[in-house]
């Protein structure tokens, strides 16, 4: 269970859609990167931000699928400004290549949405020798954010518009990796548990947001960083889990639609009510309280140090 923080309600609910939470927002002066924009809530996020006028860079693993989504969006929104770039978050080489290609486009960057992810997949190591869920869900986004941060700082200072970084996490109450962040444990195939590994990676998304927010606040940089749980949504993300498929068959009425699942992401990206809010966790477009691990500053700092060690020199 996620507990409310007692702060004023945004006025939106579990049922609100991404279009509803961004209604009336003019994003024509904003450039956004959305990872995992070729399907699910990533594709819906790209569509809604484009509908509000933002220029959207769709960072996707499968470029062909990304181009298909782009075509569908342009059919609906004729003036949509969309770009499709290849990005495989499980490969640090691919992340670095994406950052260079984006830099070559000479675009500003106001908003970074770290949305892509994998869930409960079978044991596998990335090209860099890292457990796949931790590599994709956390390390890839950690490196990407680090590589793009200077561009975001330059854009925020030049435009006078607050930059925003949004990490799509989950509810870590059920899937928290007990004992904190232990890469050595999940890299050991003999002790591997796909859900514990998933929980570790999603916990890392929140801790990353909190620690980065602290760094930026200390620097006095006008960029906010927040994490969110989109809710239970039936998408391709769950393709590796028979349990999720079975549960969904009996409880489908409790699951969000994709437009509802993308709501909190779009809310944090565009809504004026969260201006200046940073280092927080949101559910249903409202600030919420995550697990105790997710609020542990020592754990956030140790994860940051581990992540820096893994990525090496950017």
Asked if 59 and 69 touch (Cβ cutoff 8 Å), the reply is: no
Asked if 29 and 292 touch (Cβ cutoff 8 Å), the reply is: no
Catalytic annotation, pick one of 192, 198, 281, 293: 192
Asked if 177 and 199 touch (Cβ cutoff 8 Å), the reply is: yes
Q: Is 123 a catalytic residue?
A: no
* Alpha carbon 177 to chain centroid, angstroms: 19
Distances (CA, A) of 309 to 67, 90, 139, 233, 312: 35, 16, 11, 34, 5
Which tokens is 74 given? 């342009």
Number of C-beta neighbours around residue 75 at 10 A: 9
Q: Report d(CA 88, CA 95) in Å as an integer.
A: 7
Residues annotated as catalytic are 192
């Amino acid at each position: 269970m996620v507990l409310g923080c007692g702060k004023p309600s945004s006025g939106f609910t579990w049922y609100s859609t991404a279009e509803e939470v961004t209604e009336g927002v003019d994003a024509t002066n904003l450039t956004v990167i959305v990872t995992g924009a070729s399907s699910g809530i990533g594709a819906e996020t790209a569509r809604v931000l484009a509908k509000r006028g933002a220029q959207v860079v769709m960072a996707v693993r499968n470029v062909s699928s990304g181009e298909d989504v782009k075509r569908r969006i342009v059919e609906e929104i004729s003036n949509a400004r969309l770009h499709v770039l290849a990005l495989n978050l499980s490969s640090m080489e691919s992340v670095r290549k994406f950052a260079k290609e984006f830099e070559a486009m000479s675009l500003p960057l106001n908003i970074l949405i770290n949305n892509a992810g994998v869930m409960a997949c079978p044991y596998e190591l990335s090209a860099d020798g890292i457990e796949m869920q931790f590599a994709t869900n956390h390390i890839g986004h950690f490196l990407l954010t680090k590589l793009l941060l200077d561009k975001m700082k330059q854009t925020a200072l030049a435009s006078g518009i607050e930059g925003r970084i949004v990490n799509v996490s989950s509810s870590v109450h059920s899937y928290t990796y007990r004992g904190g962040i232990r890469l050595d444990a999940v890299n050991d195939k003999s002790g591997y548990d796909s859900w514990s590994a998933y929980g570790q990676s999603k916990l890392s998304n929140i801790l990353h947001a909190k620690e980065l927010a602290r760094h930026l606040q200390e620097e006095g940089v006008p960029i906010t960083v927040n994490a969110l749980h989109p809710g239970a949504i039936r998408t391709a993300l769950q393709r590796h889990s028979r349990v999720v498929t079975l549960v969904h068959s009996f409880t489908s009425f409790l699951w969000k639609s994709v437009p509802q699942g993308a709501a909190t992401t779009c809310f944090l990206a565009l809504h004026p009510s969260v201006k200046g809010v940073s280092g927080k966790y949101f559910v249903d477009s409202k600030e919420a309280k995550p697990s105790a691990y997710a609020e542990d500053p020592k754990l956030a700092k140790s994860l940051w140090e581990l992540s820096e060690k893994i990525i090496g020199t950017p």
